Each structure stands twice: as C-alpha cells, then as structure tokens.
Chains A and B, each alone.
Chain A
C-alpha cells in the first residue's frame, strides 16, 4: 500500500491563481519532501520539511505539515505556465537496516492554463 497519497490526482487552474496540493500518509515520519517532475524529465527536489516543523517557505512555495493529521500541503502562489508539472510527496518511513530511502506517492498533475 502507498505510504504517501497526493490529492487531487489532477488540477487545472488559471495562471496567476494559487495551487494547493495535499499529501496524506499512514505512519510516522522523520521528514516529508516534495518533488516536481516536468514532462519527460527526472524529479527535482523542491523542499524538505522535518517532522518537528510546521511550515516552510521557499520562494513561491509554502509547505505545511500536520503530524497529528498525518498530512502535508504544498501551496504554489501566483502560478505560472512553467509550474505545469507533476508534483510528488515522499516520506522516509521505510528504513532497511537504517539506510536512507524514501517512498513516493503517485503524484498530482498540475496544469496551469494561460
């Protein structure tokens, strides 16, 4: 079963509007990350939030984490055409022998309309 699940699966908004994506997870985490993937490209790391943090900002990105609800949200403000991409959350639940791995959700496809 998937550890992180993004919601919605797909989102279309007008350029300039804000885009919000959510991620829910099942078990306790040490940190949660968000990645972006443009069509035909590899994933790009956007932001990492630790379990003891509630909110983090990076440019037009704002990430929140609610460990009591086991959920996170990614807000992109003043969206641009270049923000069209898939967005994935990733959590570091599984640690085989203490090694560093993360589990990705299935992603939210964001489409910014001109």
Chain B
C-alpha cells in the first residue's frame, strides 16, 4: 500500500462542534483528495489539492474547508459539524512519483465520523 495514513480512524462528535481530519502521505505525491462515502452515493469529492497551499472545491464542498501547508499533510475541517456530515471520509493521493501515472489514485484507510 502507498504510504497514506488518516487520523483519527474513528470519531464521534456532537452537532455544532469543529472537527479536523488529517491525511498524511510519505509518497511526495502532488495531488491529494478528500472524499466522503455514503450508501447510495458512492464516493464524492469534497476538496482536492494540487500543491502546497493550492486547493479547490469538489462536488460536495459546502460545510468543509481544507488546508495544505506541507506536501505530506492535507487537513479537512468541518467548522460546525452537522448530522448530514456523518460519513466515512477517505483521503487519496495521485501524481508522478515512483512511476505512478497521474490518474491512478491511492487511498487511505478511511475515517468513520459520526455526528450526533
């Protein structure tokens, strides 16, 4: 597996509280992504990053913000968590490193977030 870790792996929080999820990679890949996975919806892109301090929105970005201050770390923040943000969150990476093509993505193990 590519060197991607996510923390925490599980989190239960209450509505209205801020939550930050961390994705860390050791592959020096340029692109990093945050997805959420929900039954009946598959994987949906929240935000992505194409370099340090370079981020952009995906298809379901409302209520989420991201930051990337170092190549290896990509943070996803829920400023004020809502029950609709209960989901499994996956980080992924891609980019030219070690022979990987641009379009292949490598996924972290996921974070299961429950908002009560």
Whether A2 pairs with B109 at a CB distance below 8 angstroms is: no
The contact string, 1 if C-beta is below 8 Å from chain A, for chain B 92-116, is 1011000001111111111000000
Q: How many A-B residue pairs have CB under 8 A?
A: 59
Residues of A within 8 Å of B103, CB to CB, are: 30-31, 33, 48, 92, 100, 102
A42 in contact with B110 given A33-B104, A48-B101, A102-B105 (CB within 8 Å): yes
Could you mark each residue 18-42 of chain B with 1 if its beta carbon is under 8 Å from any beta carbon of chain A, else 0? Answer: 0000000000000101010000111
- Which A residues lie at the B interface, using CB under 8 A? 2, 30-31, 33, 40-45, 48, 88, 90, 92, 96-97, 99-107
Query: B interface vs A, CB < 8 Å?
Result: 4, 31, 33, 35, 40-45, 48, 50, 56, 58, 90, 92, 94-95, 101-110
